[in-house]
A and B are shown apart, each in its own frame.
Chain A
Amino acid sequence: DAKTTQPNSMESNEEEPVHLPCNHSTISGTDYIHWYRQLPSQGPEYVIHGLTSNVNNRMASLAIAEDRKSSTLILHRATLRDAAVYYCILSLGAGGTSYGKLTFGQGTILTVHP
């Protein structure tokens, strides 16, 4: 499985934007880039995913480098409820679907200060 590299931790202030980086230099052409987050004492929660183009949804934006070897999750205005572990994950996809298995790393612990 292709691997991702994320900083162990990041800090932000409430209502400021947060940019969470992820390196995935061994990504293959059919790998999707997923972001999940895990709040304390909860199961992971889907945030966003993309293949080649930048993506936006109600939770966040995903900026994917042109060579796809890195990506950045952008939280436009951090709130205290965004404090969580954020995981950048690659999964094999083909024909518009994913083979399903998610390989989580250790993720980035995001601390949001009031």
Chain B
Amino acid sequence: DTGVSQDPRHKITKRGQNVTFRCDPISEHNRLYWYRQTLGQGPEFLTYFQNEAQLEKSRLLSDRFSAERPKGSFSTLEIQRTEQGDSAMYLCASSLVLAGIEQFFGPGTRLTVL
């Protein structure tokens, strides 16, 4: 399977703990996006990278959230000091600029903060 993969698929944590999610984009896709989706809502943009550079961050992304894409391939999203309001599905997507406008989404990581 050469699609976007995310790990873990599910994460349960206690309030105040740190969590890290990983996204592996489709090989050679140079853009990588993170979105968050709460129940009954559409996905909400968080941030995106082109290669290693983080080009945009949502104003909604608090300083407890940090994302990296160190070698322009996989990406990690870390949430520090988790809060119950962070419970959501975290979606990753990738695309290849100039090869098309389509974003390919992964299956998501469901985070539950107790």
Residue among A43, A45, A105 with the highest chain B CB neighbour number at 10 A: A43
Give the chain B neighbours of A85 by CB distance below 8 A: 42
B65 within 8 A of A: no
Size range of the interface on A?
20 to 34
Give the chain A neighbours of B44 by CB distance below 8 A: 104
- Interface size on B (CB < 8 Å)? 27
Give A43 Cβ to nearest chain B Cβ, in Å.
3
Check B31 against A100 for contact (C-beta < 8 Å): yes
The docked-state distance in angstroms from the alpha carbon of A97 to that of B43 is 21
Check A32 against B101 for contact (C-beta < 8 Å): yes
Q: Which of B11-19, B76-84, B92-100 contacts A (4 or more CB under 8 A)?
A: B92-100
Check B102 against A106 for contact (C-beta < 8 Å): no
Known: A43-B106, A43-B107, A43-B108. A101 touches B101 (CB 8 A): no
Known: A44-B91, A97-B98. A107 touches B105 (CB 8 A): no
B29-52 CB mask vs A (1 if < 8 Å, else 0) is 001010100001111110010100
Select from chain A the residue with minimum beta-carbon distance to B45.
A101
The docked-state distance in angstroms from the alpha carbon of A32 to that of B102 is 11
B56 within 8 A of A: yes
Instruction: Give the contacting residue for A101; candidates B40, B42, B56; CB below 8 A.
Output: B56
The docked-state distance in angstroms from the alpha carbon of A93 to that of B101 is 9
The docked-state distance in angstroms from the alpha carbon of A65 to that of B103 is 24
A103 within 8 A of B: yes
Chain A interface (Cβ within 8 Å of chain B)?
32, 34, 42-46, 49, 85, 87, 91, 93, 96-98, 100-107
Query: 14 A-B residue contacts at CB 8 Å?
Result: A42-B107, A43-B93, A43-B105, A43-B107, A43-B108, A44-B93, A45-B105, A49-B102, A85-B42, A97-B101, A100-B56, A100-B103, A101-B33, A102-B35
